[in-house]
Amino acid sequence: MAVYTEVTDADLRAFLARYDLGDILSFKGIAEGVENSNYLLQTDRGQYILTLYEKRVERNELPFFVNLMEHLASRGIPCPTPVHSRDGETLQELNDRPAAIITFLDGLWPRRIHPFHCRELGHHLAHLHLAGSDFAGHRRNRLSIDGWRNLLDACRARADEVFSGLGAELEEELQELEARWPDDLPSGIVHADLFPDNVFFRDEKLSGLIDFYFACNDFYAYDVAICMNAWCFEPDGAFNATKARLLLGAYRKVRPFSQPELDALPLMARGSALRFLLTRLYDWLNHPPGAFVDPKDPLEYWRKLRFHRDIPGPGAYGLEP
Ligand SMILES: Nc1ncnc2c1ncn2[C@@H]1O[C@H](COP(=O)(O)OP(=O)(O)OP(=O)(O)O)[C@@H](O)[C@H]1O
Ligand SMILES: N[C@@H](CCO)C(=O)O
């Protein structure tokens, strides 16, 4: 369910009068997604997504996200482009919410991951990192290591409701990451949430990258590790080294890893697993009964974290050192 704010035909007509998008052919709410209200809009000029930004996206950060999409799209990244109103604006108000119209991207997100998806992803992720390198905006990653401490503090007292001892294990893991987390790896704009439901494919080719609302400045290798965790484990929890090799191999052909980045990959993967474990744990412990959206499984990420903690080094990802 992702239509929190209703938009009537009259609201829509008044809103679209600010744009040069032609005649409305159809307009309907999109069920997928949880953060914002999204509508699919078809006019005689094409298809668009109208997003009304709900409470979880901070208003003062919207220009960063919208300008970033525009910048990346202008560099050839297959991401949505914000549509300008007649007076040149990309952000507007609709029904007391900030709102934007972005271009529609063709394709479907993969329900089942095949090796070719990982190769395509690695290639496009590296291009995204390169394309973001001359973007003028900056956004600190609030869900990086200092943010994990706040999240763990908020969950610590009740973590053992998931399993006895989880709280202590998380504390130990975070302390080790705090002691070892680097501060000098190559960094820049990262997507930070490039899960399969944010990546579209057509005919085995990547056709779209969406949902830039966690994008921020952080280590490139951390973004790679987020993808490895989200794409290279099988539904039964087994790590698929072939998928990782394809993802990392395609990435490094476009943007080679430095030796410190390669060495840091297992640590980045642990950090990235802890980040999603903690946000899922927080949601799992705090979701209201009967909420529309079922919380995602925190333990999936606990198992991933343990995998990366137990490997001897980045060779386990199928790469030459
Ligand atoms: N530019 C686009 N082109 C085509 N479809 C899109 C586009 N943007 C969003 N969608 C569709 O809308 C759905 C929800 O979008 P999105 O994932 O950005 O929602 P959200 O509520 O902002 O985020 P989250 O997934 O974090 O809850 C997507 O699954 C996709 O079906
Ligand atoms: N991709 C996140 C949720 C949305 O950011 C997760 O799977 O926990």
- ipTM attached to this prediction: 0.94
> From CA 122, how far away is CA 120, in angstroms rounded?
6
Residues framing ligand 1 (Cβ under 6 A): 2, 30, 32-36, 38, 49, 80, 102, 104-105, 197, 210-211, 213
Q: How far apart are CA 225 and CA 270, in angstroms?
A: 8
Q: Which residue lies with its CA nearest to atom 6 of ligand 2?
A: 276
Distance of CA 172 from the midpoint of ligand 2 (Å): 24
CA of 41 from ligand 1 middle (Å) equals 13
Architecture of domain 115-317: Alpha-Beta Complex (3.90)
CA distance 34 to 294: 10
CATH node for 9-103:
3.30.200.20
CA–CA dist 102, 69 (Å, integer): 9
Task: For residues 73-78, give the mean pLDDT.
Answer: 98
Q: How far apart are the first and last CA of the chain?
A: 45
Q: Is the predicted pLDDT of residue 321 greater than 60, yes or no?
A: no
* 104 touches ligand 2 (CB under 6 Å): no
Give the integer Cα–Cα distance in Å for 99 and 39.
11
Task: Please write the tens of the pLDDT for every residue from 182-197.
Answer: 999 999 999 999 999 9
Task: Give 312 Cα–ligand 1 centroid separation in angstroms.
Answer: 38
Domain boundaries, the chain: 9-103, 115-317
Centre of ligand 2 to C-alpha 143, Å, is: 12
Report residue 57's pLDDT band, with 50, 70 and 90 as the boundaries.
confident
Share of the chain above pLDDT 90, in %: 91
Q: Which ligand is nearest to the CA of 81?
A: 1
Would the CA dihedral through 230, 235, 239, 240 be positive or negative? negative
Distance 144 CA to ligand 2 centre (A): 15
Report the atom number in ligand 1 closest to the C-alpha of 37. Answer: 21
Q: State residue 1's pLDDT score.
A: 44
Taking only the tens place, the pLDDT of each residue in 130-184 is 999 999 999 999 999 999 999 999 999 999 999 999 999 999 999 999 999 999 9
Handedness of CA 108, 111, 117, 123 (dihedral sign): positive
What's the mean pLDDT in 96-119? 97
Q: Is the pLDDT of residue 219 over 60?
A: yes
The pTM score is 0.96
Q: Which of 276, 293, 299 maximizes ligand 2 atoms within 8 Å of its Cβ, making it the mutation to test the pocket?
A: 276
- At residue 51, the 3 state secondary structure works out as strand
